[in-house]
Amino acid sequence: MAKYIYQRKNWTNFSWQDKVINVVFGEVRLMQGKIIGQMNALGFSAKEEATLTALTLDVVKSSEIEGEQLDYDQVRSSIARRLGINTAGLVPGNRHIEGIVEMMLDATQRYTSPLTEKRLCGWHAALFPTGYSGPYKIESGRYRTGIMQVVSGPMGKEKVHYEAVEPKFVKAEMDKFLVWFNHDHTLDPVLKAAIAHFWFIIIHPFDDGNGRIARALTDLLLARAENSSERFYSMSSQILIERKQYYAILQKVQYSAGDITEWLAWFLHCLKNAMLATENTTQKILHKADFWKRHEHTAINERQRLMINKMIDGLEGKLQTSKWAKITKTSTDTALRDIKDLVEKGFLHQTKEGGRSANYKLTG
């Protein structure tokens, strides 16, 4: 008696009810076109900024889903450097962050390249360059050879939520997946992204990192759907917000007899929400582009540009000389000179509080 979907005969002949997903699917396709249109109207540097923000969020949030916190500025720097984007205040990344960024950029920038076992194993090796996941030694850069269980609860009282495909069948199952991924052109790429995510998670071919790789595959197919390596929204950010439903729906549909309607409906709604969130980001990017256009002929230094960008992005708390000095790693004298120069040039103005607690705000 089959317990899990993969234990059924011809389990990958997935079925779904079109009438349940058609409306949200149509909305998603419409919104993709709308976002690309909005972004194309932005101009080059603003578009670059939007892509950099979306990719950074994708890397940071995809790791956060797995309970790992990455440094946002390090991730952003690593992506900017690899894409050749000149941003002020580049922060050196570490080997671990570089590996995660490498995988994400390979997926999104080389979205037309075939997906192969070698490429997937390269991603896995990049995620786990030391061969360890936290304190645990894992099989890095190759399919797993051990059983894979998703469990929770204390030792001795673990609850098994899922037992993945037996190790001896992993390669055959993955070969079938890769043939479908590369050669089945009958499906719309957005639907294909949803199915690929589910199919890959069910096989769980690696010792660790399956969720992150599944989300990278999703991004690759969404890039194909838009025929563009520019990313303007982050699916992983939205999955993080809806993480409980994400796991609940995966757990439910893993027992399905082949009908994956519920998963597709959830995935499409999540994607729609990710795009809605991007509309707010776009407004901020438009505001930033407009701000710099007004000041494009005013000479300022890199520290000043860095701080102004932080203020436009919503720097928390009040801006005082001490905060400026701390963030830019300069003396308070230098910070005060930088600030006074920006006041004179019309970028900043001093708020009502005077004396030692002088605060400054952006002008316009």
CA distance 20 to 24: 9
Superfamily of domain 5-289: Fido-like domain (1.10.3290.10)
Task: Return the pLDDT at 42.
Answer: 76
Nearest partner of 193 among 221, 234, 228, judged by Cα: 221
Nearest partner of 321 among 343, 296, 299, 290, judged by Cα: 343
pTM above 0.85, yes or no: no
Between 3.50.50.60, 1.10.10.10, 3.40.50.300, 1.10.1490.10, what CATH number should domain 297-362 receive?
1.10.10.10
Least confident of 40-54, 80-94, 208-222, 228-242: 80-94
Report whether pLDDT(1) > 70.
Answer: no
Beta strand pairing call for 159-163 and 348-350: unpaired
Task: Return the pLDDT at 136.
Answer: 86
Work out the average pLDDT over 273-289.
Answer: 81
Report whether pLDDT(95) > 90.
Answer: no
Work out the average pLDDT over 39-68.
Answer: 87
**Both tokens assigned to 137:** 């030694």
Q: What is the pLDDT of residues 166-208, one digit of tens each?
A: 999 999 999 999 999 999 999 999 999 999 999 999 999 999 9
Q: Using an 8 Å Cβ cutoff, are 218 and 190 in contact?
A: no
Q: Looking at the DSSP assignment, which residues form a beta bridge with residue 137?
A: 132
DSSP labels for 121-176?
Answer: HHHHHHH-TTSEETTEE---SS---S--EEEESSTTS-EEEEE---HHHHHHHHHH
Name every residue whose Cβ is closer than 8 Å to that of residue 264 and which is 6 or more positions away in sequence.
Answer: 16, 21, 191, 194, 195
CA distance 225 to 216: 14
pLDDT above 90 coverage of the chain, percent? 61
**Both tokens assigned to 321:** 């000389």
Least confident of 169-173, 237-241, 300-304: 300-304
Radius of gyration of the chain (CA): 23
146 pLDDT band, cuts 50/70/90, is: very high
Report whether pLDDT(364) > 70.
Answer: no
Task: Return the pLDDT at 40.
Answer: 82
Report whether pLDDT(87) > 70.
Answer: no
Task: Return the pLDDT at 88.
Answer: 58
Work out the average pLDDT over 138-153.
Answer: 89
Least confident of 87-91, 221-225, 320-324, 341-345: 87-91
Task: Return the pLDDT at 168.
Answer: 96
Checking 28-31 for CB contacts under 8 A at 24+ apart, the result is 28/190, 28/268, 28/271, 28/272, 28/275, 29/188, 29/190, 31/272, 31/275, 31/276
Task: Return the pLDDT at 355.
Answer: 59
Residue positions counted in the chain: 364
Within 10 angstroms of residue 216's Cβ, the number of other Cβ atoms is 27
CA distance 79 to 86: 11
Q: Using an 8 Å Cβ cutoff, are 124 and 206 in contact?
A: yes
Report whether pLDDT(89) > 70.
Answer: no
Distances (CA, A) of 174 to 115, 117, 118, 126, 165: 11, 8, 12, 19, 11
CA distance 159 to 165: 18
Report whether pLDDT(294) > 90.
Answer: no
Report whether pLDDT(356) > 70.
Answer: no
CA distance 209 to 207: 7
Report whether pLDDT(256) > 80.
Answer: yes
Report whether pLDDT(85) > 80.
Answer: yes
Give the mean pLDDT of the chain.
90
Nearest partner of 51 among 3, 255, 42, judged by Cα: 42
Tally: H helices and E strands in the chain: 14, 6
> Domain spans of the chain?
5-289, 297-362
